[in-house]
Structure 1
Amino acid sequence: MSTTDAIAHVTVKSPDQMRELGRRLAPLLRPGDLVLLTGELGAGKTTLTRGLGEALGVRGDVTSPTFVIARVHPSLTGGPALVHVDAYRLGGGLDEMEDLDLDVSLPESVVVVEWGEGKVEELSEDRLHVVIGRAMGAAAPHPEDDVDDVREVTVTGVGPRWSGTELDGLLFA
């Protein structure tokens, strides 16, 4: 990460807000963008991707690609396709990822890779890294919030593509 990277810290209090975060993120994305999603099982990676797919206007329900490794959702609106990848079971790093031909899909699609940290960074010097963690300590929710649903999300734009990009529109009031 360099000093020119764009960064936002967002507190997400429900699955609906995680989906909304995906919807807010979508207008920032364009063909060729690589998005890495990092977080434990059940953190909300697929829920965020579902929101991205809705806002991008892609075909098909966005569901976890765990068993198929990758799903392609073509655009219904003339925008970029959404390629949704689950790299959890892939242990071979970039070599194994290259078998999926993601580098071929990347120029005309938005490629979202769950569990991609340490595996796909070499696909592009420009990427958006979304880290989802459970809220703890001072960041824990108010009593009216469901503690199991609150997440702290850090969105970091890496590389020249994201330099100077404003991410404040991702924040909830």
Structure 2
Amino acid sequence: MLTTLTVSHPDAMHELGILLGRQLKPGDLVALTGPLGAGKTTLTRGIGEGLGVRGPVTSPTFVLARTHPSLVGGPPLVHVDAYRLSSALELDDLDIDFMNSVVVVEWGAGMLDGISDSLLDLVIERPTGAGADTVETPEGEEPIEPRILRVTTTGPRWDSGLQLGL
């Protein structure tokens, strides 16, 4: 199922992540795709908060994957940055416990085929150039622009739906 929504502000992206995190269970796989600065790590921080994991949740660009243990008896969050990986085989080499963790893979498009029959695929579109919805910011800071988020759920895990209301 495909759902499209507009996320108006980084704080709203974080809040969406919290909502998602509260719904995720061990074995859930989340793929995040979008350009630099789209909000992938902001969303993942919210997921970590919703899961109740030890933080801070930061981009794992230089380590490829970080595991954040639960502080509340839930599953750990494994946060992967697949940007520098060239194939799904390299992802497999990271020896991730997909069955007992919630795994979020930034730049995961095309890297997760066959790993799970259940996938939450989020594509974040970042506008290029100031639009009518751009929020003014102090001089020198990047403008705050809304993001378009396309969420596709695959597999029986999501048959009962996903709650995305903000």
Shorter-chain TM-score above 0.5: yes
- Structure 2 counterpart SS, 1:107: coil
Q: Percent identity, please.
A: 55
* Residue in 2 that maps onto 1:21: 16
TM-score, reference length from structure 2: 0.88
Q: Within the alignment, does 1:162 sit opposite 2:154 as a pair? A: no
TM-score, reference length from structure 1: 0.85
Offset, 1:125 = 1.5
Q: Within the alignment, does 1:153 sit opposite 2:153 as a pair? A: no
Which 4+ stretches in 1 moved above 3 angstroms? 140-148
Matches within 5 A, 1:71-86: 71-86=66-81
Is the 8 Å Cα contact of residues 80 and 104 (structure 2) preserved in structure 1? yes
Q: Deviations over 1:51-97 (max 9, x none)?
A: 00011110120000000000000000000100000000001x12111
How many residue pairs are counted as aligned between the two chains?
Answer: 160
* Residue in 1 that maps onto 2:140: none
Q: Which runs of 5+ in 1 are unaligned?
A: none
- Determine which structure has the larger helix proportion and give its number: 1
* Residue in 1 that maps onto 2:89: 95
Q: Within the alignment, does 1:33 sit opposite 2:24 as a pair? A: no
Is the 8 Å Cα contact of residues 31 and 119 (structure 2) preserved in structure 1? yes
Larger relative contact order (C-alpha < 8 A, sep ≥ 6)? 1
Is the 8 Å Cα contact of residues 131 and 155 (structure 1) preserved in structure 2? yes
Within 2, Cα distance between the matches of 1:141 and 1:29? 34
Within 2, Cα distance between the matches of 1:13 and 1:107? 33
